[in-house]
Structure 1
Amino acid sequence: MQFPDDDNGQMLAAMAEAGIDLTRELEVDFFLVFEDKRDAESAIEVLTQQDQQGELELHFDEETNQWEVIVSIQMVPEYEALSAKETQLNDFAKEFDGISDGWGVMQHQDGDGDFADDHVHDEHCHH
C-alpha cells in the first residue's frame, strides 16, 4: 500500500507494516487539546449536543499542563476519511481556543501485532 508522505500517511504506513488490517473498522482516537478546562468542557458539551458519533473523554495531561478531549470513533482508517475528520475536529476545536493534536489507535485489536498506544503528532503537538 502506498500512502501520502505526511503525518497521516506515515502513521497508516506504520500501522500496515505492523500488520493491522486497514480495511476493517478500528477504534480511532482523535485528540483535541485546550489550555483551559472550561473550554474543553464547553467543547464536550457541544459535541454531545451535536450527537457526535463515538465516545468522548476528558482528561488532564500533567506533562503538558493541558486538557485533552479524546473523541473515539469506530471507522475504517482510510487516509481521506482520517484527514477529513481531523480537519473537521480541528476547525471545531478552534472555536473553543483549542487545536487538534493528531489521532491514534490506542488499543490492541485482533491481529495488530505490537502496534498500539501511539498517535500522529502534528506541528501543534505538545507531547
Structure 2
Amino acid sequence: MQFPDDDNGQMLAAMAESGIDLTRELDVDFFLVFEDKRDAESALEELSQQQANGELELNFDEETSQWEVIVCLTMVPEYEALVAKETQLNDFAKEFDGISDGWGVMQHQEGDGEFADDDHQCDEHCQH
C-alpha cells in the first residue's frame, strides 16, 4: 500500500508494516488538547450531545499540564477519512480554545493475533 508522505500517511504505513489490517474497522482515538479544564469540559459536553457513535474521555496529562479529550471512533482507517475527521475535530476544538493533537490506534485490538494463545487447539466451538 502507498500512503501520502505526511504524518498521517507515515502512521498508516507504520501500522500496515506492523501487521494491522487497515481494511477493517478499528477503534481510532483522536486527541483534542486544552490548556483550561473548563474549555475541555465544555468541549466534552458539546461532543457528548453530538457524538452518536463513539466514546469520549477526559484526561489530565501531567507531563504537559494540559487537558485532553479523547474521541474514540470505530472506523476503517482510510487516509482521507482520518484527515477529514481530524480537520473537523480541530475546527471544533478551536471553538473552545483547543487544538487537535493527532490520532492513534491501540496496538492490540479484537482480531489481532498478537496475544493469541499458541497452545490453543481449534475445535468445532471456535469462533475465529
TM-score strictly above 0.5: yes
1:57–1:32 distance in 2 versus 1, CA, 3 Å? same
Q: Which runs of 5+ in 1 are unaligned?
A: 115-127
Partner SS state of residue 42, structure 2? helix
1:49 and 1:39 map into 2 onto residues whose CA distance is: 16
Q: Which runs of 5+ in 2 are unaligned?
A: 116-128
> Aligned Cα RMSD in Å?
1.4
1:17 and 2:8 matched: no
For 1:104, the equivalent position in structure 2 comes to 104
Percentage of pairs with the same residue: 83
Question: After TM superposition, where is structure 1 displaced by more than 4 Å over at least 4 residues in a row?
Answer: none
* Per-residue deviation, 1:48: 1.1
The alignment's TM-score, normalised by the length of structure 2, stands at: 0.85
The alignment's TM-score, normalised by the length of structure 1, stands at: 0.86
1:8–1:61 distance in 2 versus 1, CA, 3 Å? same
For 1:30, the equivalent position in structure 2 comes to 30
1:43 and 2:43 matched: yes
The number of equivalent residue pairs is 114
